[in-house]
Amino acid sequence: MDHRPARHHRTEHFVEAAPGTRLWVEECGPADAEALLLIMGAQTSGLGWPDALVDTLAEHCRVIRYDHRDTGRSSRRFNEQPYAIADLAVDAVAVLDALGVARAHVVGLSLGGLLAQLLVADHPDRLLSATLIGTSSLSTTPYVDAAGHETPPERLPGTDPRLLALWAEPPRVRSLEEELAWRVEHWRLLSGEQLPFDAAEARALERRIVEHTGHHENSAAHAHADPSGLLRTEELAATDVPVLVVAGPAEPVFPPPHAQHLAQTVRGARLVEIPGMGHALPRQVLDPLAAAILAHAGAASYR
């Protein structure tokens, strides 16, 4: 959530991902560099990827970020055309197709990390590498701790109850100021408790997203999308796609050892921990996160 002026020129497009579904897409960085696709979490605009992170990645890659369906400037038609979570992974492929990208490095956060796993499993020919952040494994394989004890995935630690309570609040019409206050509180809880939380930074990010979107309505479409058919146990265990799993010790949505479990279930996956990181992208984590992503992408390119 860093708001320094962008260092690189940005080019915007609209992509037809499916009949009646248009996605806002932005490119940044050298057009002839390897593509790096950023996939954001549920109900969050692609602008949730901080400009400072995009700019650092764009020193080396053609960085692409986009608004999911029912976020930002993309189509909002869930009530007329309900879709499944898996359809959002198909949208990511549609973005690559529309921009003429044969293969890309993919970085996914939260729901985006789930979608990136679907790409690893279902479209490995389109990926140079994948980096998975703040997400859980699409596998039924148990987690094995250092002592050799096994824990089924469904018994791993759950989401912070304070977040569950916030998500369970009944929908209501909020003023802009009320909506911004709700979103800032959401970021506070998502950030965890190991790094200082900058409410002004979170508020500035959300004001920019509201301006980008054109209104402050907070869609719940992704919460209602069909979540069935997502398990990819065998495919993840057999993949040849180079995968990096980013662990946040302050992660409140998928607390440790979810990241460690994910790294166990994906063949050949590497694990890196970003000190203090939760389920958000404050400025304190951007440099180490960018370094980890670029090192992984570079190693994948020259293996």
* Rounded Cα gap, residues 244 and 117, in angstroms: 11
DSSP 3-state assignment of 63?
strand
Phi, psi of 81 (to 5 degrees): -135, 80
Query: Which H/E stretch holds residue 270?
Result: strand 270-273
Q: What is the pLDDT of residue 266?
A: 98
Q: Nearest-CA neighbor of 204 among 183, 173, 219?
A: 183
What is the reported pLDDT for 1?
43
Residue 251, both tokens: 């992660």
Nearest CA-CA partner of 121 in 13, 290, 282, 266: 266
Q: For residue 214, is it left (φ>0), alpha (ψ between -120 and 50) or beta?
A: left
* pLDDT (0 to 100) of residue 5: 46
Residue 6 has a pLDDT of 55
What would the pLDDT profile of 35-51 be if each residue is shown by its tens digit? 999 999 999 999 999 99
Determine how many CB atoms are found less than 10 A away from the CB of residue 198. Answer: 19
CATH of 10-301, one of 3.40.1350.10, 3.40.50.1820, 3.20.20.140, 3.40.47.10: 3.40.50.1820
**How does strand 62-66 pair with strand 35-39?**
parallel
Q: Where are the domains of the chain?
A: 10-301
CA dihedral 93, 95, 96, 99 (to 10 degrees): 160
Provide the pLDDT for residue 222. Answer: 95
Written as six digits, the tokens of 11 are 């080019």
CB 273 within 8 A of CB 262: no
Q: Which amino acid is at 211?
A: E
Nearest to 247 by CA among 280, 275, 284: 275
Which residues in the chain come in under a pLDDT of 70? 1-8, 302-303
Q: What is the pLDDT of residues 178-213, one digit of tens each?
A: 999 999 999 999 999 999 999 999 999 999 999 999
Rounded to two decimals, what is the model's pTM? 0.95
Closest CA to 191 of 220, 160, 164, 213: 160
